[in-house]
Amino acid sequence: MPIIRVEMFPGRTKEQKAKLAEAITQVMVDIGGAPRDHTWVVFREEPKENWAIGGKLSG
C-alpha cells in the first residue's frame, strides 16, 4: 500500500487536487506497479509563513 504525501502551499481547488491525485496514482500504477485501489495520495497544505527557503521565510 503506497502512501504518497504531497506538501504544498494552500490555494488549489478541489478539482485541481482531484486531477493531481489521479495523475499521481496513475504514475504509481504504471511505473511503481502498485494496485490502484491500494494507492493513497495525501495532500498537506501549509501556509507560506511556515516554510523557509535559504534561511528566509517564504510568507
What CATH number corresponds to the domain at position 33? 3.30.429.10
Number of domains within the chain = 1
1-59 residue pLDDT tens: 899 999 999 999 999 999 999 999 999 999 999 999 999 999 999 999 999 999 999 87
Its domain, for residue 32, covers: 3-57
The one catalytic residue in 2, 10, 35, 47 is 2
Q: pTM above the 0.85 mark? A: yes
pLDDT value of position 58: 84
Whether 2 is a known active-site residue: answer yes
Query: What is the DSSP secondary-structure string of 1-59?
Result: --EEEEEE-S---HHHHHHHHHHHHHHHHHTT---GGG-EEEEEE--GGG-EETTEE--
